[in-house]
């Protein structure tokens, strides 16, 4: 029998974050979301109550940073209803609640990437205005089914009190990215962005951005410097004549540098005249 509980502010924050991230591990929740509890066991008790009331569901799975399989959380049916009530919409697939997909580890990496950008932005008087998950960021911009962009997510960043925001299409590489996949992504992002204002307005309506985005970047983040160099080589292997038609800023960086200095000079502008020179966003 389902229990009913009164949700507090951190409970609702957790539900919304689960909607945006789909899967979140217990360490992340205790350290960054349910922070009002004096001890981990009390936060875990709260998670148990939220699960008994069908707001969330847990799975015990292997995860990086855990000595043994730990708790992975996602939304349950009542939690999806609450999110829809809170923000006026939900974009959820029931299969996420019933089975853990192979990409859950990749999602946990994304969670920490977004957190890292958010914390570093605050220290610099900047702000991560919004994180758009893949489910909302995917967009078919043409008539063909192949004419689709499918970023791992979209990060909207800018000065805290400004509408001059940048949209970052995030491509967080799982391991060693295949050259063909990298090139196809760039071709599609370029085709999408060069369509201009009308298509971007349609994308704005599709996603439902809370903040205006005035400029766009495509950002490939690799797990280490070696893989970053491979991404750069793969992109630069595009023949010169074809490359000249790519007008979008394509950036490459490695994950460790984003953790330390996300708003510093760590980005290769791959299609610039000096792709080896690192610059800021």
Cα–Cα distance for residue pair 141/143, rounded to 1 Å: 7
pLDDT value for 155: 97
Of 168, 14, 193, 170, nearest to 86 (Cα)?
A: 14
Contacts of 36 (CB under 8 A, 6+ apart): 10
pLDDT value for 252: 97
pLDDT value for 90: 86
pLDDT value for 110: 95
Question: What is the model's pTM?
Answer: 0.91
Judged by DSSP in three states, 215 sits in: strand
Judged by DSSP in three states, 4 sits in: coil
Cα–Cα distance for residue pair 222/172, rounded to 1 Å: 6
pLDDT value for 91: 87
Instruction: List the Cα angle 33/157/75 in 5-degree steps.
Output: 35
pLDDT value for 175: 73
pLDDT value for 1: 64
pLDDT value for 238: 87
pLDDT value for 4: 84
State which residues of the chain have pLDDT below 50.
none
| Number of neighbours of residue 256 by Cβ within 10 angstroms | 14
pLDDT value for 158: 95
């Amino acid at each position: 029998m389902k229990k009913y509980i009164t949700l507090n502010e951190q409970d609702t924050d957790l539900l919304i974050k689960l909607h945006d991230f789909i899967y979140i591990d217990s360490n992340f929740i205790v350290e960054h979301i349910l922070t009002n509890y004096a001890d981990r066991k009390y936060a875990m008790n709260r998670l148990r109550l939220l699960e008994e009331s069908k707001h969330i569901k847990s799975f015990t799975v292997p995860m990086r940073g855990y000595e043994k399989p730990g708790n992975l959380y996602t939304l349950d049916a009542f939690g999806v209803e609450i999110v829809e009530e809170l923000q006026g919409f939900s974009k959820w697939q029931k299969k996420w609640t019933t089975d853990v997909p192979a990409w859950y580890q990749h999602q946990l990496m994304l969670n920490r990437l977004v957190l890292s950008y958010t914390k570093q932005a605050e220290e610099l008087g900047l702000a991560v205005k919004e994180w758009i998950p893949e489910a909302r960021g995917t967009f078919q911009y043409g008539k063909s089914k192949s004419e689709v962009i499918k970023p791992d997510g979209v990060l909207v960043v800018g000065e805290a009190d400004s509408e001059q925001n940048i949209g970052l299409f995030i491509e967080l590489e799982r391991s060693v990215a295949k050259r063909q996949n990298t090139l196809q992504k760039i071709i599609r992002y370029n085709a999408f962005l060069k369509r201009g204002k009308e298509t971007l307005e349609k994308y704005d309506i599709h996603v439902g951005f809370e903040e205006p985005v005035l400029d766009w970047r495509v950002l490939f983040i690799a797990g280490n410097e070696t893989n970053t160099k491979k991404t750069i080589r793969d992109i630069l292997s595009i023949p010169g004549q074809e490359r000249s038609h790519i007008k979008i800023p394509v950036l490459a960086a490695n994950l460790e540098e984003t953790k330390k200095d996300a708003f510093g000079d760590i980005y290769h502008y791959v299609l610039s005249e000096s792709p080896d020179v690192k610059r800021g966003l």
